[in-house]
Each structure stands twice: as structure tokens, then as C-alpha cells.
Structure 1
Amino acid sequence: MRSRGIVLPHPTLLTLVDRAAGRAATLTLAADTIARSRDRTATLSAVNGSPGSFTAVLARLLLDELTPAQSRLLLALSTVPEFDAELAAVLSGHPDAIAALERIGLGPGLVCRADGAAPSERRPRYRLEPTFRDGILTEFFSRDAIGLLRLHGIAAEWHVAHGDIEAALDQARQSDSSELVEDLLRRFGLALVFGGSTLSVRTALADQEDRGVLTPTTGLLGALVSSPQLAESVRVDHFLALAEDEGAPRAPERDLVVAALHALHARTGPETARALARLDDAEAVTAAHPVGEGGPLAVLAARVFAEGARARVELSTGHFERALTRAIAASDAADESHLPWLELLALDTAASAANARGNWPLVGILERRIALLGSRSAEPESLVDASALLRTAASAYRSCEPFRLSQLDDIISVQWRALDAVGVLAPRALRLLFRLDEGADPRAVFEEMEQLFTVSLRRRPETIALGAFRFLDLALLYRGRSVARDYVEQLTTALGPDTLGSILGAALLREGTVAQDAGAAALEHALSSGARVLEGTNVVAGWLLLAHWSAESGDDARARLRLSKAVTIAERMRARRPFLARPAFVRLVAERHGTFGASEAFAASILTAASDAGISSDTGSVPHKSLTTRERDLLRELPLHQTVLEIAAKHSVSINTVKTHLRSIYAKVGASGRTDAVRRARELGLL
């Protein structure tokens, strides 16, 4: 203010600072506006007294003080986030717009070089400070809304001519021209999605849908961005029906993508066979006509997508080796063509196939490739970035490495901005697991997990696989065996009875009952025969559970063998987290310290991770007498703060029977009462 010759009373200055919310650029704009005014007192009164947006008021007053030509220049340049000399000239109609902008002499920070533009850059880019630009845009809209929309259309055409299609689509959306948006989506939509710009396409599709614009183009792209995980089948059916409309534009790459989508979305064997035959025909057309509407690169990208779709079909039909081979080939082709979205889809399929084959080192390699796909920005900027960061988060969780929960919030934010309600399920589930293992109230977290469990099983069942063991363990603790049995049945229906997650859940239900041996036999058979695996850490959890049961029954030799398998497999996938699921698992490792051979260092790292998590590996406090099945069931009721009468009614026994069992429990765990029994049971790994 003083540098502009403006001296204000202290209260007036504080009012300005308050209205500017402390933003330096807004205060600079205030100083510029007041300094340029013919009547500073009147301007200052207007600045401090006008309602509404502070920057909008300042922008209006500033524009009123400039010459008409200068005002038109600022209004024109506000239509784009950044500009070079050529774009500035096109928008303003002034051949030397940058020099004219500099002659206005705006205060420092209101006009600056765009991020990443070096001083020596041949065609430097500039931008108006964002809050300053917002104020100018608001004033532009109130003065000449039609002129503003026209300039957005001009900017869109300029960006198309210069190859920045994502920026062009953004400007087309702001031009309020559904015809222009439709044209850009038809010509460049596939390339944008395959290149990873799915957020911009989804936003444009949502805008078109809001305007009632439903065309074969919006149908094709809507199906494409929704289909890879087959999450929203009803919406995908709707989109595919639109894409198949008689008036649909024909192009080799478009027909191939539609055929691949049908293959991805086939539900039965005959449907799959017909879809694959159609895919063969579409691929033959692209071989004969390698240049489509979008050029040869568009056809190449469609062929890569088709190969990725074939790999996913192979995966869903149980041909894991063929799926793995196809998916890796597709990911390599996508990498060479710089198509990160396609590469992500192919790598995700390859990782799932390798997981199903039990090839844990390859799973790790593929997941690291996915993690490297993301940008190195502080926050994920696209669905590719978000997916890559999610893989990094899941890997950090499995290995017990530090990871900031705020980054999972960033992933969730990107998914919501992409209008992907299904995509948020995986990061939400992972966030709850992190909270559970970082000391949050387990009862409260479990209740949130219950809510997510029902949604995940219906819309994306594989998201629950990572936390299935912990969830079912807590369900037994907080809800009892009957409710846990319902959850296992739901899990089995969603994942399939042949999946390891379902078999592991069934074994957990039998723990501490006369059927435990039968559950152990079924679980060991599944682990040894290669049951279908959706989450590798469940293999480790399965062997740990078996080792724990063997140790409890006094069969130390079998306990050592099973524990050794758990440690060896966990080392291959760098998964320490399954050992932290129960204190008893940690003690298994601690008691056999020094017997793991080549895996000894990894076993030691498990104990370190447990210690960091506050889990005791003390082996001297384990009770000599095991609890009976009934005692285990009643012990799980103690943390729920129920009366003896309520517990008795729940288990259909008398009050005296409950009291007798409770006295036995207290004696066996060395506790003086209910609260002490809960604490001791958790220390001993019984809860």
C-alpha cells in the first residue's frame, strides 16, 4: 500500500486484510485498484462496503479504471488458465497482447510465468493469479456472457490445433456447446481415455448427460470408462445399447472397442463365445484397415485394449496362464505406445492372474510396475495416478511400512471427482484396515467395516479380500458365531466357494469347536492344492491359523512346519501384516526364533513390526489350560458390556451356567474380573 502511495488507518487496513483472507495476491489487487482510482476515498468505501466476492468487487473496480482496450484484454485472457503469446493474440485480437498486458503494469503476482515455464523457454506461458482470474471471469460473465462462451469455443479450437485435447475439451465444456463437446469426444475420446485422461472424459460425459445429450459416442465412452471392473452392470448395459444405435459413427477402432466391451461384459459361456467371435471379426477389419478416424495410433490403441479384454476373459474363465501371457504382452505394448490407462488395465489383469497362480515374486514385480505408473505429484491427478497410489498403499499395508492416511483420502477424492462410486470402495476398505492396525477403537472401526462389507460384496467383492480375515475375526468377537456365519455365507456367495477367502472364513467359524479338525483339513487341502486366491496374504493367514491350532494341540512338529510355510511365503510377498492379526501369531514366531534358516532376518522383521505396533511377543504368560468351546464363545461376549442375563438369553443357558463358565475363564486367564479378563485375553491372543 505504501509503495503505491496509499496510507490507511490501522482499522481500515485490518478490514482489507480480513476481507482478503490474508491472500497476498488479493491485497496486491486491492492496492492496484485503489491506486488507479480517480477518487480513492470513494473506491476504498466501495472496496470495504460492497457485499459479495471481494475479488469480484476489486476486479470490477479495476476494469472500470482501465481503458476499454485494456479491460477487453484482461477479460479475454481470463478465459484460459494459462496462455502464450499466440493464444493471447487469438483471444484478444491484439497482435502484441503480452506487451500490452505488461504495459498495464499490474502488481507483482497478479500476472506470472506458468508453473514449469523456464525464463529461457522459446514460447513462455503466462497465467493470471487464480483468485484474480476468478474475479475477472465473474465480471466477464455479468458484462457479456455470450462473448465469454464464444471465447471459450475459440480457445477450444486453438487447443485442438495445437494437440492439447484435454485442455480443448475443458474449454468446450465451458463454452456451453454440447455440439462442440460431442465432436471432440467423437474424434478424440478414445485417445483421451487410453492415455489416462479419464477424469476429463467422465466430467464431459456427466455434463452431456445433464443436458440430455445421449448419443452413440457418449454411450461408447461411458461403457469404456465403466467396464474394466464390470462394476456397474446396469449402467454398462445402458451405455452399450447407446453405442450400438443405428446412427452410431463407424470406424475400425470404434467397432473393435465395442466388440471388446461386449467380451468383457459377457455373463455366460455362450455369450462369451459369441462376443469373442465378434472380436475376431473386428480385429480382422483393423488388420485390413489399419488407419481409422483417429489415425493409425487410434487403431493400435484399440488393438491393445482388445488384447487386454481377451486376457481378462481368460482370467474370468480360469485360464490363468494364458491370461498372464496375454496381459503382460498387452501391458508392454501399452507401455511402448505411452498409454498408461491401458497399461494399468493390463497390469492389473496380469497381477490377478499371477496371484491366482501363486507366483508371489511376479505379483510383487507387477504391482511395483503399477505403482510406477503414477505421477510424482503430491496428490493423484488422474485415475491412473490414484490406482498407482492405491497399489503403493496396499503394499505398504501388507509390509507394515509407513503410509499417510491422508493420501488414501486423496485417492478417494479423485474417485469421487471421476463420478466413480464403486472405485472408492477399495481405498475406503484399506483406510479402515490402516486405522484398525494403528490403534483406533476396534469396535468403532469394525462397525464401519460392517457397513462397507455389505456394499463391497454387492458391487466389488474382491475389495474385501485383503481384510477378510480381520473382519471375520472381529465379527466373531463382537457379533458372535451366528452373525459371523451369515457373513461367511455372504462371502462365499460373492467370491465363490472355491476361493481361499471363503474356505478360510469357514475354517475360522469352526475354531474352538468339535469341527475344528475338519476345518483344518479343508483349509490345508485348499492351501496345498492351489485354491483360487484373490488376496495373497490370505495364504499366509491360512498357514498361520493352522500353525496356531497345531501349537494349541501340542503338535509342535506340525506347528513348526506350517509356520515355516507361512514365513517363507510371506517373505516372497513382503507381507508382515498377517502375523500382526493376532498376538498368538506373533508369539509363534518369537517362540521359534532362530529356526527359520534363510528366512531368519524376515522373521526378525516381523517381531520388530509387532513391537512397533505395540503387540507383545512375551511367551511366558500363555495359560497352560485351554478354554473350552463354550468358554471361548462366552469370552467373546465380555467386551460387549452385556449383563449376565443378556448373555444367558443369547446362548440359551441359565444364569448360573454363565456364572460358572465365567469363573472358569477368569481362573484360566489369570484375571480378577470381567475387565481384567478382557485385557488378559487380548494379551494372550484369545480375543
Structure 2
Amino acid sequence: MSTAAGAERARSRPDDPLLVAKLVSPRIRTPVVDRPRLVELVSRGVDGPLTVVSGAAGSGKTLLVASWCATATSPGPVAWLTLEPEDDAPGAFWAYVIAALRRAGARLPDDVGEPFLDSSVAHHLLARVADSLATGATPVVLVLDQFEAVTSRQVHQELDVLLRHTAGMLRLVLLTRDDGSRWLHRYELRGDLVRIRNADLAFTEEEAACLLQQHGLQLPPAALSALTEQTSGWAAGLRLCALSMQRRGGPAPFEAPLPGTDPTVTGYLVDEVLEGQPPDVRDFLARTCVVDRLCPALADALTGRADGEVVLRRLQTANVLTTEVEQAPGWYRYHPLLLHVLRAELGRARPGSVDELHRRASAWFEREGLLLEAVRHAAAASDWQAATAVVVRRLGIGRILVGRETNQLDAALLDLPATVGGSMPAVIRAARALTVFDLEACREQVAAAEERAEDEAEADRPPLLASTAVIRAIVARIDGDLPAAESALAAGESQLSRTPEAGAHPEMHALLLSSVGTVQLWAGRFDEAEQVLRRGLAVSAGPGCQYPRLNVLGRLAVLEYARGELGRAAELGRAEVALADESGLPVARRTGAGHLALALVAVDQGDQTAARRHLDAAAASVGARQDPLVAAWVPMLRALVHADHRDARRALSSLAAVPAAAGGRSLPPWLADRLALTSALVHTERRDAAAAEAALDAVTPPSAQQVVARATLALAGGDRGRAAELLSPVLAGELIDDTGSQVEAWLLAARVHLANRARPLAREALRRALSLAEPERRRRVFLRPGGPGRGLLSAFPDLVGANGWLGLTPPVGSGTPGPRGAAVAGPVEMPAEPLTNRETTVLVRMAQAMSAEDIAHDLFLSINTVKTHQRGIYRKLAVSRRNDAVRKARSLGLV
């Protein structure tokens, strides 16, 4: 096992030996030569941020640091992680690091999260890890063994960033064959790096003598000196020579040095280790070397014998380069040098048995539920029918499409020949084609798999057809094909109910429900979409379901917003974003729906900062090919924001981008209506009544939002009677879309009443609007520049004080408390020339910080007329600036 799936296994299977072997330091079972000079070097390095132990294979890097862990005093908990080439992906690497830190007892809060995609990780997750470590009570030592396996430049950069942002509370120890990473040099220049190189690890003569004594051997000084020189102090070479001497009964001359090259090591291992074993043990070693780690049951499956436990213990006790995995009793691993030699010898001496041994390993791993290992061994045997069948039988299609093992499974199946026929290989090809959006190839392979399903065993048909149903549902989601999606859901649920493995793989059902609910939402079938998505929310609570759960949460958030439920939309949107954050998902890999819902809510609630942040995140999340709903709504919302800021040019440009953003796909009626209403609003702001009317003509009647928009146009044109007539069914509750349209209707009604000088009616209408808006905090309609609410609030400042949720402070003289320092001591002389009614009206709006353009828009005046009134105000109040005019007017009780 070697993916970010390890973190998930750490939760669900904490005793998994394949995971334990990666997250614990090797147990030291044999006597170790006391090397205080090196232990002291490690201790000195751990006092600082970075220690690098580099040397050739068999030089004793791992043994040295493991000995330090066992004997020295660490400044804090020690987390150990043994890396493998498959751990090179950023998400996989950091999932294992977090699992290692947690296992060691490092202080990491539950909300730190962990990556669930192996290919990427978001920087904010690393920031949370760094912050948690930086604020810990004690430093944490992180040992990364076999660090040369990590070649990803991104991982190296991220590790550097983590180390620099933990306030000295992370102490990193790298064990590697290659210490040439560029980012290490910066630490070396600052004196923050301690290096222990090959030359440091080389045994001195005194240390070599101690090693030989542990094997019951003693050499004369000259022979000891020659042996140390010939082996260059190489630990593995010295130990191999000791084993050879033991077998031969005493010291023997060595004609050639042991520089550590493969041919030399191979020769010595064959001659001095393997040849010294009984034939049955050599056979055991040969048959079990195809796996990286083994237990007695796996050994018996590979050898066909029943003595696995006895032989493994004997090998470990006799120090035949075999060790038991600590904290996983009964699991063993061979030394990498021995493993390399055994595999080479197996391929040379028994080439015909290699494939059969891989098949046996694959079958054993499949029975144990270890899918990835089963696939890898079947692929190593070139048994592609078995490799694909295990994926399908174990419902592994979901793990190919989403989750932590996507890259690893894809790599294991990469060499699947096109000539291999049958339904199982066809399903795998379909899934792999879907991951790269080759929909034509995907459909072709799904059809081929279903045509040949009858050729499979009866027990294999349900998981096969469940797999094709999931793939069809996802393709239908991409196509926006509702009938195909609902057909796939029915077929998939039917087949999953007949598949015993289904309970262990909730991601399959979650993918079905998530995909179908997405299409239903796109089609405007809100009630059906909610039912399916709510089911998806319940199903996706299981392991491996993070991605479909993200999609479900985001879709539900958008659905609730479309129904006018801002609070519920925000709650679901925050849940989606929080899950994505905890999962270390970069913004570019998210669904975008959660951020979109939060942006929509923020706009309606007048939170411009949050609106911009979430709108930018939604735009960065997904392309139109994957998610036309988010892609189309983002420019519509941008247009609304630009319109609110009186930037008609950019608003129109954003609207023009909607068709391309949706991938050229026709918008469903409900979304097309929103586009038309947004267009009408922009044209109304531009005072282009004809264009606004044309846009509204495209809205599917009857619609309260459409009626309110037409009433707005009528009022802007001075036809108050027409506006009142249009608003009547909305105000009476005969035509209701959502609360938002009712709020705007009552605001327009208040404006009509105020224009008709019916202040009590205007005040009541405004009060009704505020009452309706308060539960969801719909501030935008009251606060946006030029909107109907700003002027009305100025006319009835007492309602501002009664509605603190607006976040406004009513002016002095309104009967409610004003801003601190507003009162002016002493008598104030009234202006000699009183203000006209129009000047007073303009002055009230100036006190509300409305611009001259906003005032002109609100009062249906030209901006030049507003400026003329402002000059009259300045002259009568004997001031020269706007702020002075407002301050003096408040002291006089004029506003």
C-alpha cells in the first residue's frame, strides 16, 4: 500500500500492517554497534530545523536514526514515515505525513484535515498543519526515510514552506541516497543544516571490530585494517563478510573490496547468505520475494506450504536480513538488498514461476480486501482479465473515478492492452476514458461491456452492471441528459442491491445520487433534485465519499438559494467549503457550487468583501465542460455586482460571456429567466427601457420577479399608476416567487406612496419590506447605490434605528440615537434663507452618504440639477464642503 489512502486506512484499519510498516521506525532486534559520535551528530541536528543523513544503500542510515530514537533523548514526539516511489504525489505524501504526525502524538486538531486526492493539496491545509505545530508545547521530530523516492518539485517546495513556518517547532530528519536537493542549500548557508554523509557513516576499524565481535569473530589488526579498507567501512559489506566468515568457520581473506555495486552485493548475498541456507528455506525465500511484506498466511499462499510462521521466525532469529514489522506482530520484510537479489535470482532461475506467484499474491490480497495490491500483482503477471475483474468485482470503479487511489490504480492498469477483450477490461477502459473526458470512447466501452455482460459469471454481473450504471450517470451529468441520468440511477440501485460488496463501497451509490441530483437541479426539477441530493448526503457520510459529498452539499446550497432560502444556502455552502478545506482540495479542483452559493448570499446580504472572495473562488473552481451551472451563473452574478456599482459596460460584458461559459449549451428555462432578469436590471440601470422590456419579454410568465422588474421600469418612467397596478398581485400574495421579490415589491410600493405624498402608507410599506427582509438579512435592496431602499430609509430614519441588522446609524434628529459626538453645544443660528423642499430632500440623501449620481437616480433628476441644489444648500448654510453641510444640518435638526 502506498497512496494517500493510508490516511483513510489509519482511521478505518489502524492495525493494517502495510500502513504500520510505513509509520513506525524499524525495531532494533540484533545487537547494534555503539557509535556515540554519530548519535551525537543526530542529536545536534535535531536541535535545529534540518538534519540530512545521506549514503549508499546498506550504509546504515536507517539503523543510525532508529538507534537514536531508541537511545537518545528527543526534544518531543518522533514521527516516522518510510516513503516509496508511489508516495511522490503531493496529496499522497501529505496524507501520510499527517498520519505519521498523528500516530506520534503530535498536536494536530481534528479540523486540520487531510488530502483525499493524491494528486494535489491546497496550501491552506499545509498552513493549518504549520500553525498547529508552531503553537505546540514541544517540538516534533519528523523522520522521512527513503526520501530519495520523492522527486516531485512541488512536494520539496511545500516541505520547505512547512519547515519555515513552524516557528522552529518542527525538526525534520531526511534519510536519503541523494542529498542534492537545491532547497537544502539555503539552510546550509544559514547554519541550520547538519549533514551526515557516507564518509561519516563508514565504520572505523574499532567499530568494525565491534561488529565482528557480535558475530563471534575476531581478526588480527592487519586483517581488520585490510577488511575495513576493502569494504570502505560499508556497513552492509562488513556484515556480509561476517556472515561469510561464520559460514566458513572463521576469518578468510577477501580478494576484492566491496564498494556497494549491485554485481558485488549480489554475488556476496548469493554466496554468503542464500547458499548457506537449507534447500527448503531457499525455496521459501524465492517464492515469497514477489511481495514487499508478508505474513505467515500470505507466505503459505505463495509457497503452497504450511510452515510460513516457523520459517519466518527462524529467518528473523538467524538474522538472515529479515525483520519483523514493529507493532504489527507476525508481519515481516526482507532487507532491500536481499529482496533485490532474491527477485533477480527468481527471474534467472525460475522465470516460469514469477507470473504464477504474482497471481497467488493477487488472489490473497483480493481475499483480504486490499484492492490496489491485488491489482498490482495481477498486472505484474500480465493477467489483465484478473486485474480488471478484481476492480469490478470489488466495486473499485468508484476509486478509479474519485478518491485517493485514482492515480495508483490508473498507473497499475496503464499497460492494459487494447487487444484484451471482455466486459471487465471494457469497464476499466470506460472509466479511464471518463477521467480524461473522452466521452465518445467512454460510451463505446460501456456499450461493449454491457453487451458482453452475459459472458461473465452470474455473481459478477451485478457489480459489472452497477459499474456501468455509475459511469453512465456521470456521463449523463456532463451531457445534462436527465432521462439518461434517471435511468442510470434506477439500474445502478437495482444492481447494487444484488452486490454483497455494496455496503463497503458507499461511494458507488453516492456517485449515482450526486450525478442524478445535479442533472435534476440543472433541469429545474427542484423537488426531485432535493430528494435525491438529500439521499446522497446521507449515503456520502461513509469513507471514500468526499468528492460526491462535496458536490451534493454544493448543489443543495445552490438549490436552497434558488428557492430564496439564504440561511440554509449559506449553511450548506459553508459546509461544502469547510469539507474541501479539510480535505486539502485546491480551489481549482473544487465543484465551485459551494463558493457560488456563498457569493450569491453575500451579494444579497450586502457583504461585498465575501461576495468577491467567493465569486473569484467559484470562477476558478470549474470549467463549463464539467459544470455549466456554476460556469453560467458566475458571469451573471458578476454582472449584478457591476450593475450595483453603476458599471454598465462591465455588466453587459459579463452578461455577454454567459453562453460561452455554459459551453454553448442552452440554459434551462429557470436559469434563462434569471439571465433575462439580470439583463433587465442592467438595462434599467442604464435607463434603456426598451432593452429592459425586451429582456423581460423573454421571461417565462407568470413570475413575481418579472412583474416587479416591469413595475420598476414603469416607476422609472414616471407612471406610478401602472407600477401600482403591476405590484398589486405580488403585494396581495397572489403571485409569489420567493421572499426577495416580495421585499422589492413592498419597497417599490413605498416609493409609489411617497411620490403620491402618502407618507403613512409609504412608511408601512417600507416597514413590511424590512420585516420580510430581516430573517434572511437581505440588505442589498436597501443599501445598493441608486436602489429604491436608500432614499426610503433617508425619508424614514426612525425605521433605521428599529432595524439594527441593516448596519446603519440613523442621523440625529430622527428620534433615535445618532453617532457619538454628533451633538453640538450652545445655540446654533438658523439659516437666513430657508431650504426649499427639494433642497431638503437632496440634503437628507447627502446625509446618507449618497453620491450626486445616486441622488439623481433616486429622485429621477439629472445630475446637473442635483448639483445645482447642492450649491444652493452650501450657500444657505454658509459652508463650502459636503461634510460641513451635513454636520451643520444635523446640528440644526434639518436632517
Contact 1:172 1:181 in 2 (8 A): no
1:375 aligns with 2:586: no
Q: Deviations over 1:172-208 (max 9, x none)?
A: 55x7966659565532344545455533663136536
Give the CA deviation at 1:347. Answer: 3.2
* One-letter amino acid matched to 1:621: L
Percentage of matched positions with identical amino acids: 11
Of 55, 58, 69, 2:65 maps to 58
Give the CA deviation at 1:481. Answer: 1.9
Q: Say which SS state the counterpart of residue 482 (structure 1) adopts.
A: helix
Q: Deviations over 1:337-362 (max 9, x none)?
A: 43755544543454356446654332
Q: Deviations over 1:351-410 (max 9, x none)?
A: 356446654332221220121221356xx6553344344446556775424358585264
* One-letter amino acid matched to 2:389: R
1:471 aligns with 2:638: yes
Give the CA deviation at 1:303. Answer: 6.3
Of 476, 483, 491, 2:658 maps to 491
Of 436, 460, 467, 1:295 maps to 460
Q: Deviations over 1:630-683 (max 9, x none)?
A: x9xxx9xx99x9xx9xx9xxxxxxxxx977667789999xxx869x99xxxxxx
Q: Say which SS state the counterpart of residue 793 (structure 2) adopts.
A: coil
Q: Deviations over 1:551-573 (max 9, x none)?
A: 87753464363478799554xxx
2:297 maps to what in 1?
Answer: 86
TM-score, normalization: structure 1?
A: 0.53
Give the CA deviation at 1:621. Answer: 0.7
Q: Deviations over 1:533-561 (max 9, x none)?
A: xxxxxx88767756766787753464363
2:684 maps to what in 1?
Answer: 511
Change beyond 3 A, Cα 1:60–1:618: same
Change beyond 3 A, Cα 1:433–1:444: same
Of 385, 406, 418, 1:202 maps to 406
Of 411, 428, 436, 2:580 maps to 411
2:447 maps to what in 1?
Answer: 256
More helix by share: 1
Q: Distance in 1 between the 2:731 and 2:343 partners?
A: 69
Q: Distance in 2 between the 1:558 and 1:96 partners?
A: 91
Change beyond 3 A, Cα 1:375–1:205: same
Change beyond 3 A, Cα 1:382–1:45: same
Of 524, 531, 535, 1:365 maps to 531
* One-letter amino acid matched to 1:204: Q
Q: Distance in 1 between the 2:748 and 2:314 partners?
A: 72
Q: Deviations over 1:37-82 (max 9, x none)?
A: 553735633542674369774347779999999xx9xx999956xx
Give the CA deviation at 1:95. Answer: 1.1
Change beyond 3 A, Cα 1:340–1:461: same
1:333 aligns with 2:494: yes
Q: Distance in 2 between the 1:127 and 1:155 partners?
A: 21
Q: Deviations over 1:201-254 (max 9, x none)?
A: 631365369x777747888646435649xxx65x445x55xx97xxxxxxxxx6
2:613 maps to what in 1?
Answer: 445
Which structure is richer in relative contact order (CA contacts within 8 A, separation 6 or more)? 2
1:610 maps to what in 2?
Answer: 777
Change beyond 3 A, Cα 1:160–1:360: same
Of 469, 480, 490, 2:647 maps to 480
Q: Deviations over 1:122-152 (max 9, x none)?
A: xxxx799xxxxxxx99x95577457699999
Q: Say which SS state the counterpart of residue 729 (structure 2) adopts.
A: helix
Q: Which runs of 5+ in 2 are unaligned?
A: 1-20, 46-50, 54-60, 71-144, 146-210, 216-238, 244-272, 274-284, 319-324, 347-353, 752-762, 784-788, 797-841, 854-861, 874-880, 887-895
Of 35, 40, 44, 1:45 maps to 40
Contact 2:599 2:612 in 1 (8 A): no
Q: Distance in 1 between the 2:734 and 2:326 partners?
A: 61
Q: Say which SS state the counterpart of residue 535 (structure 2) adopts.
A: helix
Q: Distance in 1 between the 2:675 and 2:297 partners?
A: 62
Measured on the aligned residues, the alpha-carbon RMSD in Å equals 6.7
Q: Say which SS state the counterpart of residue 39 (structure 1) adopts.
A: coil
1:169 maps to what in 2?
Answer: 372
Q: Distance in 2 between the 1:389 and 1:592 partners?
A: 37
Q: Say which SS state the counterpart of residue 52 (structure 1) adopts.
A: strand
Contact 1:370 1:388 in 2 (8 A): yes
Change beyond 3 A, Cα 1:523–1:336: farther
Change beyond 3 A, Cα 1:457–1:179: same
Contact 2:474 2:515 in 1 (8 A): no
Q: Distance in 1 between the 2:713 and 2:409 partners?
A: 55
User: Which 10-residue stretch deviates more, 543-552 or 455-464?
Assistant: 543-552
Q: Which runs of 5+ in 1 are unaligned?
A: 1-24, 105-109, 114-125, 129-135, 245-253, 259-281, 530-538, 571-575, 597-602, 625-630, 648-656, 678-687
Contact 2:596 2:614 in 1 (8 A): no
Q: Distance in 2 between the 1:189 and 1:257 partners?
A: 17
Contact 1:88 1:97 in 2 (8 A): no
Give the CA deviation at 1:411. Answer: 3.3
Of 701, 705, 711, 1:528 maps to 701
Q: Distance in 1 between the 2:299 and 2:411 partners?
A: 27
User: Which 10-residue stretch deviates more, 188-197 or 611-620?
Assistant: 611-620
Q: Distance in 1 between the 2:594 and 2:316 partners?
A: 47
Aligned residues: 520
Q: Distance in 2 between the 1:568 and 1:500 partners?
A: 15
Q: Distance in 2 between the 1:101 and 1:408 partners?
A: 52
Q: Say which SS state the counterpart of residue 330 (structure 1) adopts.
A: helix
Q: Distance in 1 between the 2:411 and 2:684 partners?
A: 53
1:384 maps to what in 2?
Answer: 548
1:224 aligns with 2:397: no
2:388 maps to what in 1?
Answer: 186
Give the CA deviation at 1:169. Answer: 1.8
5 Å-filtered alignment, 1:307-322, equals 308=473, 316=481, 322=483
Q: Distance in 1 between the 2:390 and 2:772 partners?
A: 50
Contact 2:655 2:679 in 1 (8 A): yes
* One-letter amino acid matched to 1:168: L
Change beyond 3 A, Cα 1:214–1:351: same
* One-letter amino acid matched to 1:512: E
User: Which 10-residue stretch deviates more, 354-363 or 90-99?
Assistant: 90-99
* One-letter amino acid matched to 1:44: V
Q: Distance in 2 between the 1:34 and 1:99 partners?
A: 12
Q: Say which SS state the counterpart of residue 456 (structure 2) adopts.
A: coil
Change beyond 3 A, Cα 1:168–1:661: same
Q: Distance in 2 between the 1:292 and 1:660 partners?
A: 86
- Greater Rg by CA: 2
Q: Deviations over 1:5-51 (max 9, x none)?
A: xxxxxxxxxxxxxxxxxxxx999969x86997553735633542674
Of 621, 628, 652, 2:793 maps to 621
Change beyond 3 A, Cα 1:618–1:452: same
TM-score, normalization: structure 2?
A: 0.43
